[in-house]
Chain A
Amino acid sequence: MDSPARRHDNTRLPMTSSPVPARTPLLSAHHLAFSRNDEPVFGPLDFGVGRGETLLVEGDNGSGKTTLLRVLAGMLPATTGEIFIDAAAATRDSRNGRMLWLGHRGGLNESLSARENLAFLAGLYGTRDGMTTASAMEYVGIAGWIDEPLRTLSAGQKKRVGLARLLLLAGDIWLLDEPYANLDRHGIDLVNTLIAGHCAHGGAALVTSHGAVRFADPNARHIRLSV
């Protein structure tokens, strides 16, 4: 059997230019800063991510990459500065349903199978047109495990279920916190392919990385956070 993971071998794809012109950034931050107990964690930052663009947030452990993503997702309040979505100040309502979050906690229940987990999340977020749980699992190369309880899957396979979630659910802003963790070389390529595909369709992605993994897209924009 052709291992589905193999299919993503060597997908160092040239980035196609975005079909949607990035005039107003999809997500932007203006003087965004966060302090924990009055100790600055990051910022002030100014950046924007347009449709079709990827923003790579780099920095060492403890430099505030995850915190930045949590602030953008509205899980933490910004200390100063503003966040805009489509040039309008971000509110809980304008944010929710458009952002897909992949954190270090997978957001998946271990007692349920991938199919059951994804069906629940699809009920919340809605799916992309033409995408089903089965086809999403097929893309990430673990279709054979779709009905197994997640508990029985390896860490890398669970991560892939998380990636299938990105592919399945509707939402144009991806917030990916260390998506490369726990993944082998094929998995890393898969993440890059997914991000490229998402961006090619007018989505945007913010990806944190501690810098050990080279991101495929040479045109991706970077923010470096320092401790």
Chain B
Amino acid sequence: MSRSYIPHFVHWLGSPPNFYRFAGAWRPWLMAAALIAGAIGLYGGLVLAPPDYQQGDAYRIIFIHVPSAWMSLFIYAGMAVAGLIALVWRVKLAEVVAMESAPIGAAFTFITLVTGSLWGKPMWGTWWTWDARLTSELVLLFLYLGVIGLYHAFEDRRRGARAASLLALVGIVNLPIVHYSVQWWNTLHQGSTVNLFGHSLIASSMLWPLLVMALATHLYYFASLLGRARADLLELEGGKQWVRELVLEESR
């Protein structure tokens, strides 16, 4: 009995007016939760956690860097799944979710690269080093930019969304190959690799703010996605009856 609830809910959510209302109702709560979790996480990471015995306070950038890196991959996976649904079942909402995820993911990838570079300065004495993980992130940024660029190159947005979704899926096949090849390349050239946590166990006083920050970035992603998808749907569904009713309702 309970099994039929989930498909029913997904089907209900797939309809643009339903999604619009659902997103409008959930977005403020998610955003508030993201801000609260972010504040707690940052307080825990920047104030409560002790300085590292090797890196001093410089390590604290991981509380931004690491959750962003996780999000850059998480969002790419989400975009690819939505893209697959868009390609196979031609669900308009899936197209919107995939295409609105891309800029958020690109932003997190960019933050990862910038914070990695900032962290690199005290660690390696240089702003950029071809470290395996940073190089993979750079390639990931280009994958995101390709998806965004292809989407916007089409005049017909829905056709653009499906072409870009296909590119995102090609990228999913490519990502592990990039990851592996870059690591191989890095060891070949004796690159500078700094292990994030020299010892495999990290103090719980450092771990919990990191996990809270990861929660905050996830919440932020969903809140931001709902807001962006909402605006996008409104634009796509322009002259539709439900949009007209909505405008009348809100102008009253």
Contacts and interface: CB of A to CB of B under 8 A. Distances in A.
Nearest to A79: B90
B121 interface: no
A38 B15 CA distance: 12
B92 to A, nearest CB: 8
A74 to B, nearest CB: 15
B90 A37 contact: no
Contacts of B179: none
Nearest to B158: A37
Contacts of B152: none
Contacts of A37: 158, 236
A77 B237 CA distance: 20
A37 B239 CA distance: 11
A37 B159 CA distance: 11
Contacts of A38: 237, 240
Query: How many of chain B's residues touch chain A, expressed as a range?
Result: under 10
A161 B175 CA distance: 48
Contacts, number: 5
Nearest to B90: A77
Interface in A46-88: 77
Interface in B229-244: 236-237, 240
Interface residues of A, number: 3
Interface in A5-38: 37-38
Nearest to A38: B240
Contacts of B237: 38
B89 to A, nearest CB: 11
A37 B237 CA distance: 8
Contacts of B236: 37
A38 B240 CA distance: 9
B155 to A, nearest CB: 13
A37 B236 CA distance: 8
Contacts of B90: 77
A37 B161 CA distance: 13
A82 B236 CA distance: 27
A37 B240 CA distance: 10
A69 B240 CA distance: 27
Interface in B158-195: 158
Interface string B198-218: 000000000000000000000
A37 B90 CA distance: 11
A77 B88 CA distance: 12
A77 B240 CA distance: 22
A37 B95 CA distance: 13
A38 B242 CA distance: 13
A38 B158 CA distance: 12
A77 B90 CA distance: 10
Nearest to B236: A37
A120 to B, nearest CB: 27
Interface string B126-148: 00000000000000000000000
Nearest to A36: B158
B240 to A, nearest CB: 7
B182 to A, nearest CB: 39
A38 B236 CA distance: 10
Interface string B218-252: 00000000000000000011001000000000000
Contacts of B240: 38
A41 to B, nearest CB: 14
A163 to B, nearest CB: 31
Contacts of A77: 90
A38 B237 CA distance: 9
Nearest to A77: B90
B218 to A, nearest CB: 32
Interface in A202-220: none
A79 to B, nearest CB: 9
Nearest to B16: A38
A9 to B, nearest CB: 45
B132 to A, nearest CB: 43
A2 B240 CA distance: 60
Interface string A78-119: 000000000000000000000000000000000000000000
Closest 5 CB pairs of A and B: A37-B158, A38-B240, A77-B90, A37-B236, A38-B237
Interface of A: 37-38, 77
5 contacts: A37-B158, A37-B236, A38-B237, A38-B240, A77-B90
